[in-house]
Structure formats: structure tokens, C-alpha cells
Structure 1
Amino acid sequence: MMTKVSYADVEVGTELPAQSFPVIRDTLVRYAGASGDFNPIHWNEKFAVGVGLPDVIAHGMFTMAEAARVVTDWTGDPSAVVEYGVRFTKPVVVPNDDKGAVIEVSGKVAALLDDGLVRVDLTATSAGEKVLGMARAVVRLA
């Protein structure tokens, strides 16, 4: 797959298209099956509240993956991501209703590096709260 964006076309401050990712309880059950992470904080409201959470929460790795989609959609090539990391700052709380939660993700080019590499800084929020901190990807552009 070819990248959509070339190194020559970006500069510090270039904004990636923002995206919203809806999350409902069904999404969490499907992710648990795919990942093998069946921790009850991700599907059992009584258990989650019993351990001090406000409600069921999305898997941290699921939240991290959704944020990365902003970068991979922008490049058009998931293999263009050569480094990616985040800090988990707040959980994504997923109520048991038809609306669930929404993860809002935006990004911008923060640095032009050597050899066609750029650093993209991401901002991820849910319910007005920042859910990922220090979310950064290093991407190789053509």
C-alpha cells in the first residue's frame, strides 16, 4: 500500500484529519475475544464499580489502537508507523446504553526528523477528559 502523504508535503503543525470512534459494550466484548483480555472491568458493571471504577471501562490497548488509526488512515499504510507510545491518563468509561462512549482523536506533525521520518503528536479525549497522554507516533513518509 502506498502512503497518501509525502515528507515534502508536510511541515511542523500539519494537522491530521480528526476522527471520532464510538465505543459500546458490544465493542468491548468483541475486543476481549480478539485480544484474550477478559478482565471483568471491561464488561461487568457490578465488578467494575466494586473495584472503584465509575462503570465499565474500555481496554487501554483498544483506546491506544483507535488513536493510532488517525495516523494509519493519514499515511494510508500501517507499516509506515515505526514507533508509537502513549501514557494512559484516564479510562474511557462505557455506559450500558445505546450511545456508549466516543473517543475523539486529533493529531498534528510535531517534528520533522531525518530520513523521511516525522513525529506526530496525538490528542485523545472521551467525555471531555484527556484519556491518553504523551501519545506520539514516529512515521516514515515517502
Structure 2
Amino acid sequence: MSTDVPRVAKGDQLPELHIPVSRADLVRYAGASGDFNPIHYSRRHANEVGLPDVIAHGMLTMALAGRLVTEWTGDPGSVLHYGVRFTRPVEVPDDEGALVEVAGKVSAVHDDGTAKITITTRSAGQGVLGGASATVRLPE
């Protein structure tokens, strides 16, 4: 967290992130994660299993949302807990890609120097993660 932020209070909003996701990003993530399920790169395969288009990996979506917290704290090691529920996939059309919009707010500040952050993640106007939250250690 930036040193120009003297105190963290319940209700504080974190700076929003708007993250573009392209098919090329999905290919790079597949290589890094080893998840080469064709629903992440082939529209035909996605359609065969009932999806309208190629979708982003759920764990990639979760990681993008987590960036909101790590960029705010400035220290990935400050994240003590992070959890989400996957509620809707992020569709990634071939030409235009997708935009993942992440917002968050401080929902609690605890006496032990930690804070709970509630995270909202949307794509194409719909929520894609439910119950997303992180507990972070605040700087002393």
C-alpha cells in the first residue's frame, strides 16, 4: 500500500482495474498452467459443450481479480487469504477479446492489523466471480 495512504478505513474503495483479455492471453496462460482444454481456444469445442464462445480459464480470471489487491497493497506477500466462487465464465471473442473489470472495497479493518477486502469482478456487464474476498496484512 502506498505510503501516502495514512489509514485504511471500512468503506474505502480500491482503485479499479480494467483488464483486457485476448485469445493470445489464453494461449499464454494455457502454456504456463498446462491447461490445454480446447474450450479455451476453439469456438467449435466450446460450442460442442454448450458454451457460446471460447472462455477464459477460471483460475486466470481469479488471478486477474487478485491483482486488484496485490497492486493496492504493493506486496503480494501481504495477502493472507483469498477466495472466490466461479459463477459465470468470461467469454473471449476472437477479434475483440474481453474486458474484465475489478473493483473492491475495505469491508472490515481488524485490531490485529489486517483488513478484509470485498472484490467485485464483471465482464460484459455481468458478475463472473461470487463471494470474492481477500484478507490482507496492513503495513505498520
TM over 0.5: same fold? yes
Q: Are residue 110 (structure 1) and residue 107 (structure 2) matched?
A: yes
Unaligned runs of 5+ in 2: none
Unaligned runs of 5+ in 1: none
Name whichever of 106-115 and 26-35 sits farther off.
106-115
Q: 1:5 to 1:65 in 2, by over 3 A?
A: farther
Match of 1:84 in 2: 82
The alpha-carbon deviation at position 4 of structure 1 amounts to 2.3
Pairs within 5 Å for 1:16-95:
16-95=14-93
Aligned partners of 1:16, 1:27: CA distance in 2, in Å?
25
> Which runs of at least 4 in structure 1 moved beyond 4 Å after TM superposition?
5-8
Q: 1:59 to 1:90 in 2, by over 3 A?
A: same
Match of 1:127 in 2: 124
Query: What letter matches 2:69 in structure 1?
Result: V
Deviations 1:64-84 (A, max 9, x none): 000010100000000000000
- Give the total of aligned pairs: 139
The alpha-carbon deviation at position 118 of structure 1 amounts to 0.2
Query: What letter matches 1:54 in structure 2?
Result: P
RMSD value, Cα: 1.4
% of aligned pairs identical? 58
Contact 1:5-1:141 at 8 Å conserved across structures: no
Match of 2:12 in 1: 14
Contact 1:56-1:94 at 8 Å conserved across structures: yes
Aligned partners of 1:91, 1:5: CA distance in 2, in Å?
36
SS in 2 for 1:34: helix
Contact 1:6-1:141 at 8 Å conserved across structures: no
